[in-house]
Amino acid sequence: MPDPSANAWEDALIADIRANNGRPSSGPLKGHPLMVMTSTGAKSGQPRRAILTYSRDGDDYIVAGTKSGAPEDPLWVENVRLTPGVTIEIGTRSFPAIATVLAEGAERDRLWDAHATELPWFADYPAQTGGRIIPMIRLTPTEAA
């Protein structure tokens, strides 16, 4: 059963994201570029939301499956592997996108390097994973963002 206080914290953060064009005005994530991504649960088939820090690569949005450096991927990564159609919400804009999971290779490495350069607090996560390669996810809008 979900923790009601966690849901309340998420709801408050999402309200802050919406009110401040994708960059919350308070709390530990103040000023970070955040999106709400809604995917389809791999097991449940139900909508699942994730609050994610993002960077950009051209018109695409880039997110990292860090789970704050945990040894396993966040659940939403499996969701988008199985059902790549997602909805992205940034500020008050919401639009569909296709997720592409990059788990290895030069393109994944390039995206990681750019992401960690733009968002330097990500640089410590690989050392915390126990050897897990953090997947990079390219979110390509399918409609004008």
- Would you list the domain boundaries of the chain? 4-141
- DSSP helix/strand/coil, 11: helix
User: Residue 73: what pLDDT?
Assistant: 96
User: Residue 26: what pLDDT?
Assistant: 83
- pLDDT by residue for the chain (145 residues), tens digit each? 455 566 898 899 999 998 888 888 888 888 889 999 999 999 999 999 999 999 999 999 999 999 999 999 999 999 999 999 999 999 889 999 999 999 999 999 999 999 999 999 999 999 999 999 999 999 999 987 6
Predicted TM-score (pTM) of the model is 0.89
DSSP lists the bridge partners of residue 134 as none
User: Residue 80: what pLDDT?
Assistant: 98
Q: Which amino acid is at 83?
A: T
User: Residue 29: what pLDDT?
Assistant: 83
User: Residue 145: what pLDDT?
Assistant: 61
User: Residue 5: what pLDDT?
Assistant: 62
**Contact, 124 vs 75, CB < 8 A?**
no
Q: Token pair of 122, please?
A: 């990500």
Q: Give the CATH number of domain 4-141.
A: 2.30.110.10
Question: For residue 2, what are the contacts with CB-CB under 8 A and spacing of at least 6?
Answer: none
